[in-house]
Amino acid sequence: MTDELLNERYALAIERIRQIPAEKSVPQPYRDFFAQMAQYLCKMDQIRSRIAEGYLKTASEEELAVFNREPYEDVIGEWYETSYGNPAFAVRALGETHGRSLCCLYRELGNAVVWVYEDRLLELTAAMELYLELYAMFEEKTLPSAQYVKESIYWYVSDYAEERQEYQVREIVDPSLHFVKDIVMESDLTDLRYLYQYGEYITENEKGTARFLNTFSQEEIDAMARTYTEGFRKCFLVARKDLSKKKTVSIRFHIGFERMIRAAILQFREMGLEPVISSGARRTWVAGASANKQYDYDHRSDEALYLNEDLVKRRLRAMQVKYDEYKELADGYAGPAVVETFGEVPFEPVNKKQALHLNERQQKLRVGFQNEAGQIVNRYIKDDEYGYTIIAYPMPEIDPRYEKFL
């Protein structure tokens, strides 16, 4: 698809979405839901425009903290109790027939903040078009059936399976993905405004980590990074694997550790490895804070709405095709180098009956998918040529004496 066509699709979608908050063609209680989602998507469009205008570079740290919080406000703290992203509230407010499906849509649209910051216009546009498709259904004189709504979400997921799979493969093996790497390598890391360039939710944990690392000398930072990178090199040495045949390494870290990661990138390059750094699955590879861990937990099984055999087969076919397309990059992939964190305040999730849950058949499908996906990956990233390293550091909330632990 050409950029011109994609920009045209986006322009048409956002133009229509801007009209929706003032309309009354959808009956209550669904009108409020669709109006709120339209307002959110309009906010994402505004954020996209401000980023393009350079706001992340010119705003103060205080202004950026407010800017960073805005996309997450609806799920923070007490606000989550009356958020359509909360399945308990969504089912109570929207009913058993459509509450779970629309709550799932809420979560999918919530990914817009990541797509906006990373300028992934296809994903953003596709989600907006799904929203408009469902909105049009609820404008009809007769409300859509639960199955009809689920099928629309299913086809959205299925239709873009190849594009999503391609991006997921590239996130592992393709060093040309530069969004995160540019932040790490080109920012003034003494100016904590850089933390807000990711679009991830930023708290005192991330700021405290970055602030503390800025008290270290460059020699100390290099030593921290050397422990990490040497751990990766020695993994190959001990296992008698040939690192010289490899070209890339996947770096995974928590936001705030950029000074160390910058040093590690330079050290890996000395080994002949170009880092691949991507945001990956939300808050798993390059991670900020969670605005609400219960919200994340509530949506852990949203695919229960649409997961079936056909979708599993399509995803596996797409994975095979994309790994074959990127087989040279996959062959040069050495493995992950992971910076783990610990010390966060413990989280005890509430298991809500209103949240989506995989049934027994879907659980078997997920396990089967994971097994077959693992076999596909192993054909392109061979176990006997693969390595990894993991190092762990505490987060500031572990203790007021945090600086003594690091």
Q: For position 402, what pLDDT does the model report?
A: 65
SS (H, E, C) 19-81: HHHHCCCCCCCHHHHHHHHHHHHHHHHHHHHHHHCCHHHHCCHHHHHHHHHHHHHHHCHHHHH
- Whether the ω angle into residue 27 lies within 30 degrees of 0, i.e. cis, is no
Angle at 96 between CA 94 and CA 98, to 5 degrees: 60
Q: For position 398, what pLDDT does the model report?
A: 77
Q: For position 119, what pLDDT does the model report?
A: 94
In angstroms, the Cα distances linking 225 to 104, 180, 266 are 40, 18, 10
Going residue by residue through the chain, which has 406 residues, state the pLDDT in tens, using 9 for 90 and above: 788 999 999 999 999 999 999 999 999 999 999 999 999 999 999 999 999 999 999 999 999 999 999 999 999 999 999 999 999 999 999 999 999 999 999 999 999 999 999 999 999 999 999 999 999 999 999 999 999 999 999 999 999 999 999 999 999 999 999 999 999 999 999 999 999 999 999 999 999 999 999 999 999 999 999 999 999 999 999 999 999 999 999 999 999 999 999 999 999 999 999 999 987 655 557 888 999 999 999 999 999 999 999 999 999 999 999 999 999 999 999 999 999 999 888 899 999 999 999 999 999 999 999 999 999 999 999 988 999 999 999 988 877 766 665 5
**Residue 257 half-sphere exposure, CB side, CA atoms within 13 Å?**
28
The contacts found for 108-112 with CB under 8 angstroms, 24 or more apart, are 108/153, 108/302, 109/37, 109/40, 109/41, 110/71, 110/75, 110/85, 111/282, 112/40, 112/41, 112/44, 112/71
Are β-strands 389-394 and 286-287 bridged in parallel, bridged antiparallel, or unpaired? unpaired
Q: For position 405, what pLDDT does the model report?
A: 58
First and final C-alpha spacing in the chain: 48
Structure tokens at 185: 């390598």
Give the pTM.
0.94
Q: For position 281, what pLDDT does the model report?
A: 52
Query: Is 158 in contact with 311 (CB distance < 8 Å)?
Result: yes
Q: For position 127, what pLDDT does the model report?
A: 98
In angstroms, the Cα distances linking 124 to 127, 301, 362 are 5, 22, 28
**57, 252, 78, 108: which is closest to 100 by C-alpha?**
108
